[in-house]
Amino acid sequence: MNSLESDPGAEPVESHGRSNFIRDAVIEDLKAGKHDGRVQTRFPPEPNGYLHIGHAKAICLDFGLAAEFGGKCNLRFDDTNPSKEETEYVDSIMDDVRWLGFQWDGLFYASDYFPQLHEWAVQLIKAGKAYVCDLTADEVRRHRGTLTEPGLESPYRNRSVEENLDLFQRMKNGEFPDGSRTLRAKIDMSSPILSMRDPVMYRILHMEHHRTGDQWRIYPMYDYAHGQSDSIEKVTHSICTLEFENNRPLYNWFIEQLGIFPSRQFEFDRLNITYTLLSKRRLLTLVQEGHVKSWDDPRMPTLSGMRRRGYTAEAIRTFCANISVSKTNNTVQLSALEYFLREDLNKRAARVMGVLRPLRVVIDNYPEDLVEEMDAVNNPEDENMGTRLIPFSKVLYIERDDFREDPPKQFFRLSPGREVRLRYGYLITCGAVVKDDNGNILELHCTYDPATRGGKTPDGRKVKSTIHWVSAAHAVDCEVRLYDNLFTKENPNEVEEGQDFTANLNPSSLEVLSGCKVEPSLREAPIGSRYQFERIGYFCVDTDSAPGRLVFNRTVGLRDTWSKIEQRGKK
């Protein structure tokens, strides 16, 4: 997994400076001289899964703001729940952030702050603001009340400071079993804000932590750890997603009670994309239940999956900059992501010719043993990428899709009696169609016009179509993996009663093609390298490749006007 080190993707990140309400707030604070003009953010993932494109939006915001205003952005792992967290995730997250093109200032872990957090808890107990509660999880829930009814105070709410101190110490010492007691903040059981109804600060968990080992038997809850961690690092703008708006009063409460640096929380909308699931929990399910091969399966919206599929960091950043940041629930169409992907790949990917579904073509009037080297442009968008030579010979492969025995209206490609251009080759005219006993087309016999070498037409004659090809004797065999949406529904979460999102899985999200033919220049193509197969799409060399065994991923297809016309004709 993650074996694309060859592509650090760390181009310098320019700040786009596109306006959004959080950026506006930062500018306001700067104008007001807040924090002496200091801007500091943080990206705080929990290491319980791989990062996906939704995280990329947050990363671009957090790091982008810091970069734009000369501030700092830390990477902080929110590792307060050892039951879900692993170092594998920590490592992948660091890889992904770097690959996206960002470098953190400080690298921290919430677990670094366990001692300080503990000390503050003791301080709150002494101040009568926290107490040890012996209620079970179930009892706590029943005491919490409902949306419309106030909660009930815990019978343990008014223990003496001494008793609380003693009990908390013994919790810490590991004297009590999991779930038997908690430390709770003493706030207000009748608050209309549920998170203020004496929230749990610490729970007992006899569990190995990925960093602190068996040092702790009590672990702080998110609400008790997050704001203080921000505060310790002197984060000025703590940016998170909308669902945490409910937690903001509590975030502020701890900071105020403790009288520590007042980090301020801002919430923005999380990213949704059609036909895509962006939830670590669900992505974990896909991996664990084997619906995909791994976290970096190219069909996954994880950054590692997208990277393996051939996405560039630049394309993802441009996408994030363009969808902007607001507070509305939204679902961006997949086509928007693909647009920015193609836009970037168009500029950087070398053009090559590759035939996915080969159809043999014999040029009857071409000399038996002649091989000509044809000049081809590597990238019409970038002259600096130069040219290369492609061998042309008597027997070629063309795409099966580029031939129709009985061409529909508007089909401009090859058909009996018709002339087309072989890109950088010659103009050829189709003669005989050879079939087997079942009527399957085996090969085509064509004739070429020697005056059209390189695909030129000295007589000014026009052909309606130019198609790609590969010389049969020189072609390199390879496997090509075509990907389609992982889900068949725009909203994969929309399911019938009794089903779960896996019911919307697309059974043909992966199509493996073998016996594909690519031009010889690709023989030694390194893993991760990206190409445009002319007229087909963008492809990259997959990590499953090995010497003598080339595997390509289709990153995304080219815009396909013909298929649109054809679809329209069918309706």
Partner RNA sequence: UGGGGAGUAGCCAAGCGGUAAGGCAGCGGACUUUGGAUCCGCCAUCCGAAGGUUCGAAUCCUUCCUCCCCAGCCA
- Return the number of the residue (394 or 413) whose C-beta is nearest RNA: 413
CB 109 within 8 A of CB 81: no
Contacts with RNA by CB under 7 A: the residue count is: 89
For RNA, the closer CB: 413 or 481 = 413
In the complex with RNA, the residue whose CB is nearer, 465 or 543, is 465
SS3 content of the chain, % helix, strand, coil (to 5): 30, 25, 45
Establish if 421 lies at the interface with RNA (CB under 7 A). yes
For RNA, the closer CB: 299 or 413: 413
Task: Confirm or reject binding of residue 144 to RNA (CB under 7 A).
Answer: yes
* Residue 423 · residue 467 · CB < 8 Å: yes
Residue 302 phi/psi, 5° resolution? -70, 155
Judged by CB under 7 A, which stretch of 6-14, 140-148, 285-293, 438-446 contacts RNA? Answer: 140-148
**Least distance to RNA from the beta carbon of 215, Å?**
16
The single residue among 87, 410, 499, 508 that binds RNA, judged by CB under 7 A, is 410
* 424, 448, 469, 552: which one binds RNA (CB under 7 A): 424
Residue 208 found at the interface with RNA (CB under 7 A):
no
Residue 288, interface with RNA (CB under 7 A)? no
Site for RNA in 456-485 (CB under 7 A): 456, 465-467
28 or 162: whose CB is closer to RNA? 28
User: Reduced to 3 states, what is the DSSP secondary structure of residue 31?
Assistant: helix
Chain positions 59 to 78 lying near RNA, rule: CB under 7 A, are 78
Helices (H), 69-198: 87-100, 114-126, 137-143, 161-173
Q: At closest approach, how far in Å is the CB of 49 from RNA?
A: 10
| Residue 164 touches RNA, criterion: CB under 7 A | no
Contacting residue, 25, 140, 260, 385, with RNA by CB under 7 A: 140
- Position among 27, 200, 441, 513 found at the interface with RNA (CB under 7 A): 200
Q: How far is CA 365 from the centre of its chain?
A: 51
- Active-site residue, 46 included: yes
**Among residue numbers 213 through 252, which ones bind RNA (CB under 7 A)?**
219, 221-223, 226, 242-247
493-522: contacts with RNA (CB under 7 A): none
CA dist., res. 445 & res. 361, Å (int): 6
Residues with Cβ within 8 Å of residue 186, at least 6 apart in sequence = 128, 129, 130, 131, 157, 198
Residue (307 or 421) nearer to RNA, CB: 421
Which of the residues 159, 197, 203, 280 is marked catalytic? 280
From 52-60, 66-74, 305-313, 404-412, span contacting RNA (CB under 7 A): 404-412
Segment interacting with RNA, rule: CB under 7 A, options 5-13, 153-161, 208-216, 407-415:
407-415
Tell me how many helices (H) and strands (E) the chain has: 13, 25
Told to check if 328 binds RNA by CB under 7 A, we report yes
For 518, the token pair is 């690519």
Distance CA 482, CA 540 (A): 11
Q: Which of 5, 14, 116, 141 binds RNA (CB under 7 A)?
A: 141
Chain residues 529-558 in contact with RNA, contact rule CB under 7 A:
532, 534-535, 558
Contact 371, 472 (CB under 8 A): no
CB proximity list for 27: less than 8 A, separation 6 or greater: none
- Structural contact between residues 554 and 482, judged by C-beta atoms closer than 8 angstroms: yes
Nearer to RNA, 297 or 344 (CB): 344
User: Applying CB under 7 A, which of residues 181, 299, 309, 481 lies at the interface with RNA?
Assistant: 181
Q: Is 156 in the site for RNA (CB under 7 A)?
A: no
- Minimum gap (Å) between residue 8 Cβ and RNA: 26
What is the smallest separation between the CB atom of 544 and RNA, expressed in angstroms? 26
Cβ(301)–Cβ(277) below 8 Å? yes
Q: Which of residues 351-390 bind RNA (CB under 7 A)?
A: 351, 379-381
CB 294 within 8 A of CB 1: yes
Residue 86 binds RNA, judged by CB under 7 A:
no
Does 448 participate in binding RNA (rule CB under 7 A)?
no
Instruction: Confirm whether 270 is a catalytic residue.
Output: yes
The Cα 553–Cα 535 span in angstroms is 16
46 belongs to the binding site for RNA (CB under 7 A): yes
Nearest to 432 by CA among 422, 447, 419: 447
Burial class (CB in 10 A: 0-12, 13-18, 19+), 308: buried
For RNA, the binding residue among 1, 165, 258, 323 (CB under 7 A) is 323
First to last CA, the chain: 44
Q: Does 264 bind RNA (CB under 7 A)?
A: no
Render the burial of 50-83: b for 16+ CB within 10 Å, e for the rest.
Answer: bbbbbbbbbbbbbbbbbbbbebbbbbbbbbbbbe
* Residue 277 interacting with RNA (CB under 7 A): no
CB-CB contact of 51 with 97 (8 Å):
yes
* Per CB under 7 A, 81 contacts RNA: yes
Whole-number minimum distance, CB 77 to RNA, in Å?
9
Letter string b/e over residues 540-556, b meaning 16 or more CB atoms within 10 A of that residue's CB: bbbbebeeeebbbbbbb
Catalytic: 327? no
By CB under 7 A, is residue 331 in contact with RNA?
A: yes
110-139 binders of RNA (CB under 7 A): 135-137
Kindly state the smallest distance separating residue 304's Cβ from RNA, in Å: 19
Among residues 46, 86, 88, 338, which one is catalytic? 46
> Is 454 near RNA (CB under 7 A)?
yes
Distances, alpha carbon 226 to alpha carbons 213, 234, 540, in Å: 21, 12, 40
Which residues carry out catalysis? Answer: 46, 270, 280
